[in-house]
Amino acid sequence: MNFGFTYLPDNEVSWRFPLGFQALLALGTGLFVPFLVESPRWLCLKDRHQDAKYALARLYKKPVDDLEVTEALEIIIETIAEERADGEIGFREVFHNGKQQTFRRICLGAGANIFQQIGGVNVVAYYLPVVLERSFGFSPRMSLVLSACDSMQWMFWAACTTYGIEKFGRKKLMLFGAVGCSLCFAVTAAGLGVGTKVSNGVAVAFIFLFYFFFGQSFMTIGFLYPSEINGNQSRNLGAAIAMVTNWLGVYLVVSITPIGIQNISWRFYIIFAVLNAAFIPFIWLFYVETAGLSLDEIDRVFVLKHAPGSGLTYKQATEQAKIELAAERLEITTRAKYEEKPVSQHVEAVV
C-alpha cells in the first residue's frame, strides 16, 4: 500500500490514506474484543472463582463440572495463594527477587525486547529504502520495490513461527536468531566494505535473509515471552516494562541509523553484527525455556530452582515442576471422584 501510493507524490492522499487505513484495522480488532474469554487467572486474582471456572470450561471446550476444568482451577487458585503469601507486587518489589524471583523474571521479559530492538531490525524495517539507496546504490524507485517485497516476506516468516515455536522452543529459536542475524549483518558489512558489484549483491541478499532469522525468532518471542515468564501478580507490570523497553530500543535505533550510515558507512552494520553475537551467551546462560509448560509450571520452576539450598538446574527444576503439578492434578482428580461416591462407599473406604 505504501509503495502504491508513491505514484501520487504530489497528493496528500499518498500519506493520509496509509496512515488512516490503520485505524480501520484497529476498529476491526476492537469489534472482536467482546467475544474474548476473560483470563481465568485474572478472575481468580479477583476471587471470582465461579466465573473463572466458566472461562476455563470455554477454553477447554468441556462441561463446567469436567475434572480437567476443576484441576486447572484448583491449581490456579493454589498458585495465586502462594504468590499472595509473598505480598503485593508494586514498583518497589520490581527490584527484589523473593520467592517468586520477580526481578529476575521481569529482566528476562525486558531482555527479550532488548534483543528484538537493538539487534538492528529497524535499520531494515524503517530505513531499508534509505539503506538500499545510500549503501547499495539502487535507484529510489527500485529501493521502494525491494523494500515492499522485503516487508511481505517478513510477514510470511513471522507467521511461520506459529508452527515452529512450540516444537523448537523459545530459547533455541532466540539462539538461532542471534546467530543468523549476526551473520547477516557481518556479511553485509563485509560485502559493502569490499565494494565490488558482486560483493554488493551478496550484501543485499543477506539483508533480505535477515528477515528469515529475525522473523523466526525475536519478532514474535519478544512479545510473547514477557507474558509467559512473569508470575500472576507481576504479569501486567512485567509486560508493561517489557513494552517500554521495546519502544526505547526502537527510538534509539531509529534515531542513530541515518547518522550512522552517513558518517561510518558500511562499518555501521558491524555494530549490529557484534550486538547479535553478544546476545548468545546471555540467552544460553540465563534464559528459561517455557515451551510446553503451563503458566503455573513456570511459576513452580522458579520457586524450585531458587529455593534455599536448592542445587537444581533449570532443566531439573522444570522436570520437578512437571512431576509436582501432575501429582497435584492426580490428587484433585482422586479427591473429586471420592467425593462423588455414595455415603456407604465412603464408610467402606474408611473401614
Provide the pLDDT for residue 89: 61
Provide the pLDDT for residue 345: 44
- Per the listing, cell 516494562 goes with 241
Provide the pLDDT for residue 91: 67
pLDDT tens readout for residues 191-246: 888 888 888 888 888 988 998 999 999 999 999 999 999 988 888 889 999 999 99
Provide the pLDDT for residue 100: 80
Provide the pLDDT for residue 347: 32
Q: Which has more pLDDT, 184 or 162? A: 184
Q: Distance (Å, rounded) from C-alpha 340 to C-alpha 315?
A: 38
CA distances for 311 relative to 4, 276, 325, 335, angstroms? 60, 31, 20, 33
- State the pTM of this model: 0.86
Record the cell numbers describing residue 306, joined without a space: 531458587
Greatest mean pLDDT among 198-202, 255-259, 330-334 lies in 255-259
Q: Which has more pLDDT, 222 or 350? A: 222
Average confidence (pLDDT) over 7-26: 90
Q: Distance (Å, rounded) from C-alpha 290 to C-alpha 302?
A: 12
Provide the pLDDT for residue 343: 36
Asked whether the beta carbons of 229 and 105 are under 8 A apart, the reply is yes
Size of the chain in residues: 351
Average confidence (pLDDT) over 53-82: 90
Tell which CATH architecture fits domain 96-286: Up-down Bundle (1.20)
pLDDT-derived band at 158, boundaries 50, 70, 90: confident
pLDDT-derived band at 252, boundaries 50, 70, 90: very high
Provide the pLDDT for residue 87: 65
Average confidence (pLDDT) over 4-13: 89
Provide the pLDDT for residue 63: 93
Record the cell numbers describing residue 293, joined without a space: 509448560
Provide the pLDDT for residue 138: 81
Q: Distance (Å, rounded) from C-alpha 129 to C-alpha 51?
A: 51
Q: Which has more pLDDT, 204 or 83? A: 204
The yes-or-no verdict on residue 319 having pLDDT over 90 is: yes
pLDDT tens readout for residues 271-305: 999 999 999 999 999 999 999 898 889 989 998 99
pLDDT-derived band at 174, boundaries 50, 70, 90: very high
Asked whether the beta carbons of 132 and 261 are under 8 A apart, the reply is no
Provide the pLDDT for residue 88: 66
Residue 53 sits at φ, ψ, to 5 deg, of: -65, -40
How do the domains of the chain map onto residue ranges?
96-286
Provide the pLDDT for residue 93: 65
The yes-or-no verdict on residue 344 having pLDDT over 50 is: no
Asked whether the beta carbons of 268 and 253 are under 8 A apart, the reply is no
- On average, the pLDDT of the chain sits at 87
The yes-or-no verdict on residue 97 having pLDDT over 90 is: no
pLDDT tens readout for residues 99-139: 788 899 999 999 999 999 999 998 887 788 877 887 777 88
pLDDT-derived band at 349, boundaries 50, 70, 90: very low
CA–centroid distance for 132 within its chain: 29
